[in-house]
Amino acid sequence: MSQENPEISELFERLADENTSLKHTDLALLSDLNNQEIAAFKDFWTGMSPERRLDIVSRLGELAEDDVSLDFDSIFVRTMRDPNPEVRAKSVDGLWECNRPSLVDHLLSLSSEDPSMEVRIAATAALGRYSMMGEFGQLPEKTSQLLQTSLLAIFKNTNLPVELRRRALESVSPFGQPQVITAISQAHNSPEHLLRVGAVYAMGQNASDQWESVITSELNNDNNDLRYEAAVAAGELGLERFIPKLVSMIEDPDMEVQLASIQALAKIGGQDAKKGLTENLESTSSQAIREMITTALTDIEADESAAGMPAISPEE
């Protein structure tokens, strides 16, 4: 391999030199490695300290978030089998846009068997996008059924940490089966705060209108976490009946709730949402809120344009 591509060998040598800082330009070169380069990467990877490996996967994850043209999935698929649990967890997080069905079995294994709870939680959360694929028929029926059964089993196991059970509920929530609906209701009625928060998030992912009254109630909750998740869920359901309340929540005392409300209005769209956003754009003294609203209005216009709708101003 090194004879065929000396540049890659030199890159690996620079990355392995723990006396030097990692450079953005070097890390970016790890994007879209071919099969031969990945094989060479595996040999180079095992020779580094756990600290260096963690530093690299952490930085790669940050780069992928900042630049969507960079693709480190082939690396993360391999590093999520690293002996260091922190590296495994970071690697799973780095696969946030990856939708390879071949990963489901390994993620399920990590979610139920990994000795690190941090890894189990990360893997369980990562399975949510595959549940969405399964609900829309983009996975084999057998895989979808295994996914649903496994995630529900984690949620129902009261001996497991609440955070893990919460992530399992959130990840299984796109499925529309009655047992999933029951699980969401049970979590919402739980005395555990984290399960209630997860349940409201799950209602949005489940996208059933049956949750409308619950979400409406939670939009008025005194707890910031529940109001935040209710705003997110309202955007996922996309019902125009939520617009007046979401518009009022642009002035919520919690900044995260304000942001969630603005983003929900952008998802729902329509003239009433644009009108409410525009009025707040003109009245707010917060530069941060102005920027959020401007982005939301741009998103609505883009969605309308893509749908072939005329761009009508809120005043019209």
Q: What is the pLDDT along the chain (316 residues), one digit of tens a residue?
A: 334 467 888 999 999 999 999 999 999 999 999 999 999 998 899 999 999 999 999 999 999 999 999 999 999 999 999 999 999 999 999 999 899 999 999 999 999 999 999 999 999 999 999 999 999 999 999 999 999 999 999 999 999 999 999 999 999 999 999 999 999 999 999 999 999 999 999 999 999 999 999 999 999 999 999 999 999 999 999 999 999 999 999 999 999 999 999 999 999 999 999 999 999 999 998 999 999 999 999 999 999 988 776 554 544 4
Q: Which two tokens stand for residue 300?
A: 């609505």
Integer CA distances (angstroms), 203 to 168, 213, 233, in order: 14, 11, 6
Give helix 162-172 / helix 193-206 axis angle, nearest 10°.
10
**How many other C-beta atoms lie within 10 A of the C-beta of residue 63?**
17
Cβ pair 175, 203 in contact under 8 A: no
Tokens of 55: 């530093």
What would the two tokens of residue 294 be? 């401007």
Residue range 227-316 forms a domain whose CATH class is mainly alpha
Q: Are 162 and 192 a contacting pair, CB within 8 Å?
A: yes
> Would you kindly state where each structural domain of the chain is located, as residue ranges?
1-98, 111-207, 227-316
The answer to whether 76 touches 110, Cβ cutoff 8 Å, is: no
Q: Which of 112, 63, 56, 110 is nearest to 85 (CA)?
A: 110
**Cβ contact 157:168 at 8 Å:** no
pLDDT tens digits along 36-82:
999 999 889 999 999 999 999 999 999 999 999 999 999 999 999 99
Instruction: Give the tens place of pLDDT for each residue, 1-23.
Output: 334 467 888 999 999 999 999 99
